[in-house]
Every structure is written in C-alpha cells, then in structure tokens.
Amino acid sequence: MRCIAIDDEPIALSIISQFCQRMEDVEVSTYSDPLKGMEQLRKCRPDILFLDIEMGGFNGVDLARELPPGVLLIFTTAYAQFALDGFDLNAIDFLHKPFSFGRFEKAVEKAKQLLQLQSLSQQPLLTEEEITVKVEYKSVKIRLAEIIYIEAMDNYVRIHLNNARPILSKMSMTSILKLLPSDIFQRVHKSFIVPTYRIASYTRMQLVLHYKATTIPIGRTYADELLKHLTLD
C-alpha cells in the first residue's frame, strides 16, 4: 500500500513515517511543501493521502477538493473543529493530533478494507473460468480470478496467484496470452502480463497492483496500447 503524507510540521511527518514502518506493506513518502506533495500525488496516485489542514498559507480542506479519483483521504490535524468539513469531503478518517499508533493503525486498516472492497467490485466475473497449463508432466487448471500477474522466466512463465504459490510452466508469453481473455489480461512489458482490474495506479513507466503494492514496469512498445485500454475502461 502506497501512501503520501503532507504536513508542514517535520515532527508530524516523522511520526507518520515511523508508524508506517511498523505496519506491514505500508510505504509512505512525506512532503512538508503542500504544492510539491500534491504534484507528486497526481503523478503516482497513491492509495492513501495523510493530509494536515492548517499549513501556513495552505488549507488542507481546499487541497482535498483537488484529489484525483481513487485516492483515500485521512486528515491528520490538531484542529478538531475541521472534522465536519473533512467528512463532507468523504475522508475515511480524521486523526486528531497527537494520535497514538493504535489509532493510526485503525485508520489504515479501514483504508485497506475499503481498497479490498473496491478491488472486488471492479473484478470481472471470472470465478469459474479456468485455463490449463503444463507443469512438468501434469496438466494443471488455474482459475483466472486467482491470477495476480504473469512473469517471463527464460523459457518458462511464472504465474503468480492469490493465496497460493506461483506456478512455473514451460511455455512462451505469446502462448499463454492466447489462452487469456484479451479484454482483461494485457501484456505490459516483454516480461509481464497483468489483469487490468488489479491495477491500482500507473504512469507511462510503471504500474502498481492492489496486491501488496506490487510494482511492475511498462515497456515502451506496450505503453500506448495499455493506456488506451485503461482510458476506455
């Protein structure tokens, strides 16, 4: 899970960084300059924004109105009177400074649960669809809904699965791509195929999957087609 924290107080940013380090699969980038923080947010589309409200000449409530879709908002402020404004902006939580690690953890867990629900709601109906691949001397059936991404490994493909160990099959990326529905699975690099509904954020250079914030490169020759597909979606 990728996060950005914007606060004009270095101590507040340090505390958020320490709290994120104590949690599994939570990465945070911190910004004391609200304009630089918002610029980076638009570029990388994190899962969560931790946002202070009173920051010198900047008001976090006004900045929150500029959030791109899909970014979850958690306000972190010493000014409790702004809580109502925060929830009017669909903030998922309001952390009143000074907040404990337990309270911070609860807010992040709430965000994780919401992201999981969003991911499930975007998932196409692949529950029963399967492909069959050769694994050594056996034929193995794999449910499409379980595929996180597919990676090229020399003359093999490694199929990364949800809640299971990866499967290694001796076949080419071109061959396995022919088995997959083209409206859902996209080749994004010479070495990677992903189901597009699992993409949490992206640039022309890389994408991030909902699954443990997995980062995957985007090849130059695949970027235009992928961005066209995601824009149409």
Give tens-digit pLDDT for 13-54. 999 999 999 998 899 999 999 999 999 998 888 889 999 988
Per-residue model confidence (pLDDT) at position 148: 93
Whether domain 2-122 has CATH 3.30.420.110: the reply is no
Lowest mean pLDDT, pick from 24-33, 109-118, 149-158:
109-118
Residue 125 scores a pLDDT above 90:
no
User: Which part of the chain has CATH 2.40.50.1020?
Assistant: 130-232
All CATH 3.40.50.2300 domain ranges of the chain, comma separated, are: 2-122
Q: Which CATH entry fits the domain spanning 130-232: 2.30.40.10, 2.60.40.10, 2.40.50.1020, 3.40.109.10?
A: 2.40.50.1020
Contacts of range 199-204, beta carbons closer than 8 Å, 24 or more positions apart: 199/230, 200/2, 200/45, 200/47, 200/70, 200/115, 201/2, 201/44, 201/45, 201/46, 201/47, 201/70, 202/45, 202/226, 202/227, 202/230, 203/43, 203/44
Pick the more confident residue, 1 or 178.
Answer: 178
Residue 179: pLDDT band (50, 70, 90) is very high
Q: Who wins on pLDDT, 125 or 111?
A: 111
